Amino acid sequence: MKILVVGAGSTGGYFGARLAQAGRDVTFLVRPARAARLREDGLRVISPHGDFSITPKLLTAGEIAGAFDAILLTVKSFALDAALEDIAPAVGAETMILPVLNGMKHMDAIASRFGAGPLLGGACKVATTLDGEGRIVQLMPLHELAYGEMNGETTTRILALDAVLQNAGFDARLSAVIEREMWEKWVLLASLGGINCLARGSIGAVAAAPGGTKFASAFLDECRAIATAAGHKPSAAVDEAARAVLTAAGSPMTSSMYRDLLAGQAVEADQIIGDFLARATALGVAAPLLAAAYVNLSVYQNSRR
């Protein structure tokens, strides 16, 4: 199976490197500057599971000569439109597109561009970042990729993809309820990002502040209420686990959105927070904390422009 990984940043680079290390046929679609660095230094991963480096197969926009069997789409939301144009020559009649972007807004964009046929659901759990040398640094041992047909069916194509993703150096999991899992992840990410960015601190720092735990729980409650109104109520077990994570005393946890904000980089405010707020408004669900976080992040985004 020929796999095109779109982006060789902290997420795509990590899962793509693991797949390539396991002998899968992986090609990375990257920007020219990233391609130049990878050709010179290789794709290097620093991980609790052991450091490694690969010599990746690379393409840049305009160099795709034919269709791929599967496309792992890992770009940030603000790079999605350009990425969809870049991958168009790689999308054939049998191509599967597996996006692992945050939120749900990207699903509509992909379906609008290529139709619903190629589209799979995907959700990853991994904490990675790029360091100053362009290496991918895995911050925690967790590295899970879940995927499935959006309607929950066990199709021939999803079984073929599952066979390729298994035993590739990370936890791969075929899910019959991938849409629910995507919403559950969105609830957690919107809550985590909103708490970090609005309070300007880690989960532990927020928990240590007067009223911090109550604030964090209230933020989760808002996001959970929106998902429930949309028909994707998180399970009790997921809700309990999320609440424990978001109110943990001494926790150094921060969202990638908050880390990007601190670094002065672009943030996925519209995808993770803004789209959630828009759905809350459409559903008639009150979300004052989410609205405050979006105002806060919008001010930051406007200042960058």
In sequence order, the 6+-apart residues with CB closer than 8 A to the CB of 234 are 183, 184, 187, 224, 227, 228, 242
Q: Is 2 a catalytic residue?
A: no
Identify the active-site residue in 2, 185, 214, 233. Answer: 185
The pair of three-digit structure tokens given for residue 274, joined into one six-digit string: 């803004």
- Measured distance CA(278)–CA(185) in Å, rounded: 18
- The secondary structure of the chain, three-state, reads CEEEEECCCCCHHHHHHHHHHCCCEEEEECCHHHHHHHHHHCEEEECCCCCEEECCEEECCCCCCCCEEEEEECCCHHHHHHHHHHHHHHEEEEEEEEECCCCCHHHHHHHHHHCCCCECEEEEEEEEEECCCCCEEEEEEEEEEEEECCCCCCCHHHHHHHHHHCCCCCEEEECCCHHHHHHHHHHHHHHHHHHHHHHCCCHHHHHHCCCHHHHHHHHHHHHHHHHHHCCCCCCHHHHHHHHHHHCCCCCCCCCHHHHHHHCCCCCCHHHHHHHHHHHHHHHCCCCHHHHHHHHHHHHHHHHHC
Active site residues: 185
